[in-house]
Structures are given as structure tokens and as C-alpha cells.
Structure 1
């Protein structure tokens, strides 16, 4: 009988050990969350803040290398969900800065987390982008008034005629080589669809509004208009310069999708169909998240390449750092222009 009791005890001991192993990380996580909650409360007492959201290392290096960023002496940063949110001041303005990571999911997640966790006034999103507009050049900076998600579409059955509630169509058959009517293209066409915007400004709860364009904040655009004469860099170094001095333009349109555009035909399609001047992979996600929550947002993008219109290799590797530096300069000048104190509600 004693032998039987010993046999029964072994599985129970094994279960107890496994349970203990699983409990320890959970306990550690709760402790970490409690510590973060205390830090967040202390940080927010010092707010409100301007949120700064960029995308990847080239942009971050250009920005942090160009600014006099003064970290908060008590809480210089907070690590959340694998991202580092830096807390401090730039030109005397209180800011929270984060590098979100490439793509729309990263952009929306980081922006929503920033809005949920910190005491925010609004969001300045910035980075580099492909140039879709022939009147613009590499090195220029665009601050768009409207942004669309150009990656939200239905891939249609080739046997189905175009129709329905779509903003535009792209017929792949029209781009066959040698040129033909494209009637035998198995790729058919895609129909560009609309975002479903859930917003605090919509009267009915849980009832989204269909939108194609997301508008950035008009008051901030008016403030940014004063930047159009600012000085931008023309050279990467002593031997690599652009042929013309870059310019900053406010009020154009931009496209966003989880696609790096390096194709001349698709570039032309985007420009002639939607009138966009730049293409990137995050802006509409940041803008839509801000609009949904009722926060001011502005997007500042430096043009790093021609999105496929070039001869030879894409220029992003040559001029990406210059575009990022010009973007950083524009962001800093915009931060300077922001009033030291203003009511958030007046910008929503």
C-alpha cells in the first residue's frame, strides 16, 4: 500500500513543479505592470505631451542626431510591448517619442498605445516616402492634407464585370507586354475599397463611416504652411548632392499600403487615379488612429526615391539619409511653431 501511495505522489509532485514554473513569470509580469503603472502616473502628471512617431532606424538616427532632446531626469524612457517610448523635451516642448516599426500594423499599434498610455496633445508622424509626383523631387518634404490606404482592395474574379461600390479599379490586363487588350489576363483587376472609420466624432456608437481619405488636422496644416520657405539640405556629403535645392510643400495627398512601391507603371496609376504625391507604409494608419480617437495629427514625409520612375537602382539607399535629415529638420521647425500651451479640444 505504501508503494502505491508513492506512485500516486509522483504525478502530483510533477504537476506542482510545472504549476510553480508557470506561476513565476505571471507573478513577475504583474509586478512589472504595477511598476509601469506607477511610472506612467508620474510621467502623466508632468504632461500633456506631443507624440512623435517615426518608423525605422535611419529616420530615428537622423532625428535624434539633429535634436537637442532633453530626457526627463526622473523617467527618461518607458519600455512597453518591446518598444522604447522616450520622454523629454525638445525646444522646451514636452514630448514622447517612439520608433514604431515598418508597416501599418506596427504604426497603428504604437500610436494607439501612445494615446492610451500617455497624456497626449496630439501626434506628429514623420519618416521618408517614395515620390509619386513628377513636380516633386528627391529630398523634398511633403506635409499632406489627405492620406488614403491604397492597400485596401478586393481582387476580383476575371469573369466578373467591374461594378459595385469601389473608389477605383486597376485592370492588370492593360499592362500586358506586348500591349494588348488584356482580355485574357488571369490576374483580372482589383477594386480599391474604403476604410471603416470608427470615431468619437460619429454620433452612433459601433457604427463606422466609410471613408477613402483621412484628413490631417487643418489647424496644424495652417501652422505648417509657415515652413514652406525653410532651408533644406541638398547634399549627403561633399561628393553626393541633388541637382536642385529641395523644397517643402504643404497640402498634397499621400498613399499608404504595406507595399514598397518601386514600379513606374503602378506609380503612374497612383498619381493619375488618386492624385497622390507620395507613397509610404505607415501614414494612413497613424492618421486614422488619431482621427478615430479625436486627436490632432500631422504627417511629415521626406521624399527619398522616385518609386520606380528612375533608371537603374532605387535611390533610397543613396538619398534615404538625406530625406530623413530634411524630414527631421521640418519636424523640429514644426515643434518650434507649436504654442507652448493650448487646449486640445480646439484642435479636434
Structure 2
């Protein structure tokens, strides 16, 4: 009898625990649904006041530089909408209505934030901005680049030593060419650079195009060439830290994107000679691809913070990153005015 009572008591405890867990799960679900419902209500009101220009940057120093211009004025009633852990800020720059978001580092974050912005908000196009590394000797720290096209330089086929790269690969990096003595054997083998699969609303469903280059919108690039080239950029971080020459803004070069923070001169030189790109970053091609895939105009504005490993000592992103971000933000303000 005692054993039976213990068993029954245990079953009751299990039932109570299950009921409590169910209540907690239901409470969390209701709370989540309530939060989502609130965001969707705000989102509906925000979109009724659209359309907006989408602005996307990457990490806090770039955001600080953007808000530091004073050009962004938040909407009084609905200054932001929180979606999936990101804060989409609603406001104006002059007379232009804008939606701004900080996407986070890397291509997954960049693509996710861009797609969410295009899906959830009434936007007319996307301006992506931030900092980048320079691998072109004619470009200097503090300069601003507005590239005409981007390549995805992180889609690799990593091969055995002496293997032949697949037919569809664009080019090859042989690690043996960098061995000492020069041209010696290297067990890392080589990597072949694959082309990207591009899905587009204008293409056949579920059918991808193989592409190396993704072009920003031609009209916006021409607008930048007309209204931004020659603009005055900042030369000093502060009164004691200045560049030796006034930075410049250049429109129409090429850029490369990969999930790699590049601080290696030899690899930077390889990318420059092989792809003929002048800047490297970790997000741009994802924003451009996602925008083009959905049929939206897009442009990228990047301030050059470092020489991607070609500098002596510590990477200059730590000293001149804020200046590069500030110059990029300044160019964004000028571009939005010109639209």
C-alpha cells in the first residue's frame, strides 16, 4: 500500500510539473505574440507614411558616425520598430523619409537585415555604408569609395596539392607560390574561386544564374559621380591625429566581399591583381545581391580605414576607423540630399 501511495504521489508531482511547464510555455508564447503584434501594429502605421529610403550600416562605430552628423531626425511617435533582435529606426534626413538599421558583421547578418527591410518596410531602395580596407595603392586611409560592382571573394573550392580547379571556377590561388623557397610544395594546396548563385525575381523561379560581379544601380552611381566627387572630407580624427593629405572620394572602382577581416598584404595583393578590386569588406556584396534579387536599387559607400595588412605595426582601423566611418557617413548625407 505504501509503495502504491508513493507511486501515485510521484505521478501527481509529474502532472503538476507538466501543467506548470505548459503554463510557462503558453505564457512565453503569448508574451512573444503580444510583442510581435505590437511591432506589426507600429509597422503598419509606419508604412502608411512611406515610402522610405533604406539605410544599412554594420557595427557601432559606423552608427555613431552616422548619428554624429546630426542629419537623422527620428520620427516623434514611432522612432523605431524592433524586429528579430534588430532595431529599425524611422525618421527623416532633410525632407527624405528613411529607415535605418545596423545589420551586424558578416554576410549572413547583412543579407538577413536587408531582406527583412525589403519585406517589412515600404522602401524605394537601399544605401549601404561603413568602412573597408584598401588594397589599391592609389587609395589612401580616409578616402571614400563608391564602387560600381562587387565580387563574392569567399566562395572557395579548397583543393589538394597539384589538383586541377573545377571548370566553373574563376581563378586559383596556389599556396605553394608563397612557400619558401619560392614555388615550393605546400600541403595547403590551392583554392579555386567559385562564382555565386544568383536568384532574381526577374529570372525563372528556382533557377540560379552563375555570376562573379554584382553591379550597383547605374542611375544612383551616376548621381554619386555628379554630386559627390570632389566633396570635402575630414582629414583629422582630432587635434593631435591627422592624415598627411586630404582624403578624396572616388566613384566607379570595384570591391570584394568575404567573411574575412583582411590584414594580410600578400593576400590583398593577390585580390587586387586577380580581381582588380580596390577595397575589401565583409558585407557589401550580400546587401547588393539581396537588393538586386528583389528588384530594388542599391548603392554602397565605404570609407577606407586601413591598408588590409600592408601597413607597419597595428592595423590602422583602430586609430583611423572613426575618421573613415565619419567620411562615409558624410558622403551618405550628401547622397541622400542629392536624390
Q: Which TM-score band (shorter chain)? A: over 0.9
- Paired residues for 1:181-330 under 5 Å: 181-182=183-184, 184-202=185-203, 204-226=204-226, 227-330=228-331
Q: 8 Å contact 1:77–1:85 — kept in the other structure? A: yes
Q: Counterpart of 2:256 in 1: which secondary structure?
A: strand
Q: Counterpart of 2:163 in 1: which secondary structure?
A: coil
User: CA offsets per residue over residues 99-124 of structure 1, 9 Å max, x none?
Assistant: 11111111111111111111010000
Per the TM alignment, residue 71 of structure 1 is displaced from its structure 2 partner at its CA by 1.0
Instruction: Tell me the C-alpha RMSD between the 2 structures.
Output: 1.4
Consecutive unaligned residues in structure 1, runs of 5 or more: 339-348
Q: 8 Å contact 1:104–1:258 — kept in the other structure? A: yes
Corresponding residue number in structure 2 for 1:49: 52
Corresponding residue number in structure 1 for 2:332: 331
Q: Counterpart of 1:236 in 2: which secondary structure?
A: strand
TM-score, normalised via structure 1 length: 0.93
Q: Is 1:31 paired with 2:38?
A: no
Distance 2:15 2:262 in 1: 59
Q: 8 Å contact 2:71–2:333 — kept in the other structure? A: no
Distance 1:8 1:101 in 2: 48
Q: Is 1:140 paired with 2:143?
A: yes
User: CA offsets per residue over residues 50-72 of structure 1, 9 Å max, x none?
Assistant: 01100111111111011332111
List 4+ stretches of structure 1 deviating above 4 A. 1-8
For these two proteins, the number of residue pairs brought into alignment is 335
Q: Is 1:88 paired with 2:91?
A: yes
Per the TM alignment, residue 162 of structure 1 is displaced from its structure 2 partner at its CA by 3.4
Per the TM alignment, residue 264 of structure 1 is displaced from its structure 2 partner at its CA by 0.9
Per the TM alignment, residue 9 of structure 1 is displaced from its structure 2 partner at its CA by 3.3
| Equivalent position to 2:158, from 155, 177, 194 | 155
Distance 1:250 1:45 in 2: 35
Distance 2:280 2:42 in 1: 37
Q: Is 1:110 paired with 2:113?
A: yes
In structure 2, the CA distance between the partners of 1:5 and 1:190, relative to structure 1 (3 Å rule), is closer
TM-score, normalised via structure 2 length: 0.96
Distance 1:332 1:67 in 2: 10
Q: Counterpart of 1:108 in 2: which secondary structure?
A: helix
Q: Counterpart of 2:76 in 1: which secondary structure?
A: coil
Q: Is 1:122 paired with 2:128?
A: no
Distance 1:178 1:220 in 2: 49
Q: 8 Å contact 2:305–2:316 — kept in the other structure? A: yes
Corresponding residue number in structure 2 for 1:346: none
Per the TM alignment, residue 313 of structure 1 is displaced from its structure 2 partner at its CA by 1.8
User: CA offsets per residue over residues 151-194 of structure 1, 9 Å max, x none?
Assistant: 11110122423342111100000011232x23x21001000001
Q: 8 Å contact 1:67–1:332 — kept in the other structure? A: no
Q: Counterpart of 2:241 in 1: which secondary structure?
A: coil
Per the TM alignment, residue 5 of structure 1 is displaced from its structure 2 partner at its CA by 6.0
Consecutive unaligned residues in structure 2, runs of 5 or more: none
Per the TM alignment, residue 249 of structure 1 is displaced from its structure 2 partner at its CA by 0.6
